[in-house]
Structure 1
Amino acid sequence: MALTIIHKQVALQDAEPGMVLSDDLFDSQGQTLLPAGATLTEQTIASLARHEVEWLRIEAGRMSPEEEAAQRAHYAQRIAHLFRHQDDSPAAALLHAYIRKYRLGEEA
């Protein structure tokens, strides 16, 4: 099981060279400015300011396999609770499958 990245939200003004993005960063038109895993430099931080970026999601560590398993169990329990009164409609089943895929990585 792959380790999950822990991230934190950082204001651009607090970003420092050497920080690593945990997610792709997009501009207001949906164009990719930087990919996940990019390491910030002084130049990239200045460029992001020119693109009016205000917040970044930065890597803050990685979960251990035990922490990841606990998180997956929590998500599975929460999803089961949210869908406890689910009807038998195809739309509800599809929504349930998509949420499980998004949160738990299961096939939809």
Structure 2
Amino acid sequence: MTTIKTQLALAEVSPGMILSDDLLDLQGQVLLPKGVTLTEQTIESLRRHDVVSLSIMTGELTPEEEAVQHAHFQRRLERLFRKLDDSPANVLLQRYVRGFRLGGQP
């Protein structure tokens, strides 16, 4: 299933919330991995690290909602790429964007 997530300011975060993405520092090191349940101590530590906002899991899409979202992105991508030719650069771009938006391997 696809995770529904929202970006919240650190001041809006409360214990028990679940991190939906890895939290990285400015050097790209993982401060907290995705899936961590936040505690008061964790939140205080994030304040000391000057973290401003977090991506928080707010739920999951049902299979039906996921299918609707997939169809929506498919239509958008078809419209976006409608005028591109079949040059190698365009084919590669399409493959990566479709992989990112629709899931799966690029």
Asked whether the two chains share a fold, i.e. TM above 0.5, the reply is yes
TM interval, short-chain normalised: over 0.9
Q: Could you list the runs of 4 or more consecutive aligned residues of structure 1 that deviate by over 4 angstroms after TM superposition?
A: none
Looking at structure 1, the residues matched to 65 and 55 of structure 2 have their Cα atoms a distance apart, in angstroms, of 20
Q: Note the C-alpha offset of 1:107.
A: 3.1
Between the two proteins, what is the percent identity of the paired residues? Answer: 57
Structure 1 letter corresponding to 2:80: L
Structure 1 portions without partners, runs of 5+:
none
Structure 2 portions without partners, runs of 5+:
none
Looking at structure 2, the residues matched to 46 and 107 of structure 1 have their Cα atoms a distance apart, in angstroms, of 38
3-state SS of 1:9 partner: strand
RMSD, matched Cα: 0.8
Of 46, 49, 60, the residue aligned with 1:48 is 46
- What is aligned with 2:55? 57
Looking at structure 1, the residues matched to 15 and 105 of structure 2 have their Cα atoms a distance apart, in angstroms, of 38
Q: Note the C-alpha offset of 1:28.
A: 1.1
TM-score, length of structure 1 as denominator length? 0.94
